[in-house]
Amino acid sequence: MSERTLRARPLALVQDELVDYERAMERMSELVEARQRDDLPDTLWLLSHPQVFTVGKRTAAEHLPDPSYGIPVVPTGRGGQLTYHGPGQLVGYLIVKLRDGEGVVDYVREVENRLVEALEKLGLAAERRETPPGSELLTGVWTRETGRKIVSIGMRAGRGVTSHGFALNVDGDLEPWHYAVPCGMPEVDMTSLARELAEPPVLAHVRRVVAEAFEAAAPR
């Protein structure tokens, strides 16, 4: 799906800096309920979290980090497996009412493609991947040249409205990714814009480009 074939889906933009993960989940639930009542437009919430590992229902015990690292591990209701959040990462929660005949997997593909476009505007060639039969889901965005994963995506839908979203590694510490098994894939090499680009953009610029890719603007 190219930029020319992505259907228009303008979103309202909400922005915060560092927000505790569990507090963010409470707020996201409120936003989802408001969207289900049509009291809220489709919304993109951009923020970051303090260090935390979040785990999906299918995360194996052996994929969890050793408690000695001191980073909290929090169960979550999204799809996907273990992921890491921390400063220097841009998180986007998407509270979007699905169109008639559209499933959450369809929308995840749109999210991947919009993030591919954003990364290319930031100077990094990227791609989404199809999952081979029998393999762990390759949901997310990957760098074309180095084959590393730069965006994690985990979403769900309830009463026709999506929740959770994506995490784009900008310039944060990548070491915690080695403390556990991200995405259910022991071999995955997680990366960031700072690792891939000679002159990585600042987080504020990344926020603007990502918001533009999602046609997101602050309500007037």
State mean pLDDT over 33-52. 98
**Left if phi > 0, otherwise alpha if psi is -120 to 50, otherwise beta: which for 8?**
beta
pLDDT tens-place string over residues 51-70: 999 998 789 999 999 999 99
Note the pLDDT of residue 116: 98
pLDDT confidence of residue 134: 74
Distance of alpha carbon 24 from alpha carbon 171, whole angstroms: 21
Whole-number Cα distances in Å, 98 to 50, 108, 158: 30, 11, 10
Q: Rounded to whole angstroms, how far apart are CA atoms 152 and 81?
A: 10
Q: Are 115 and 141 in contact (CB under 8 A)?
A: yes
Domains of the chain: 11-217 (3.30.930.10)
- Catalytically active residues are 183
Q: Is-contact 93 216, C-beta < 8 A?
A: no
pTM, two decimals, is 0.95
The dihedral over CA atoms of 112, 113, 114, 116, expressed in degrees to the nearest 10, equals 90
Residue 120 CB contacts under 8 Å (≥ 6 apart), including other chains:
126
Phi-psi label, residue 107: left if phi above 0, alpha if psi -120 to 50, beta otherwise: alpha
What average pLDDT does the segment 140-154 reach? 97
